[in-house]
Amino acid sequence: MVKRIGWIAPVVIASMLAAFLFLAAGLTAQQAAPPQAMNQMVPDNPSDHTPPVQPIPYSHKKHLSLGLDCKDCHTNPEPGKLMTFPDTSKCMLCHVTVANDKPSIQKLAEYAKSKQAIPWVRVYTVLPGVAWNHRAHLETGVKCETCHGQVRQMEAMSEVTSVTTMYSCLNCHEMNHAKAACDTCHKH
Per-residue confidence (pLDDT) for residue 145, from 0 to 100: 92
> What is the Cα Rg of the chain in Å?
26
- DSSP, residue by residue, 109-176: HHHHHTTPPP-PPPSS-PPTT----HHHHHHTT--HHHHH--GGG-SS----B-TTSHHHHHHHHHHT
* Residue 36: predicted pLDDT: 38
Cα dihedral: 113, 116, 122, 128 (round 10): 170
CA–CA gap between residue 9 and residue 82 (Å, rounded)? 67
In the predicted model, what is the mean pLDDT of residues 7-36? 44
In this predicted structure, what is the pLDDT of residue 48? 83
- As a residue count, the chain comes to 188
Q: What secondary structure letter does DSSP report for 44? A: B
Beta bridge partners of 69: none
Instruction: Please report which confidence band the pLDDT of residue 4 belongs to, taking 50, 70 and 90 as the band edges.
Output: low
The arithmetic mean of pLDDT across residues 60-69, rounded, is 94
- Residue by residue, DSSP assigns 176-187 as TT---SGGGT--
List pLDDT tens digits, range 149-160.
999 999 999 999
**According to the model, what pLDDT value does residue 174 have?**
92
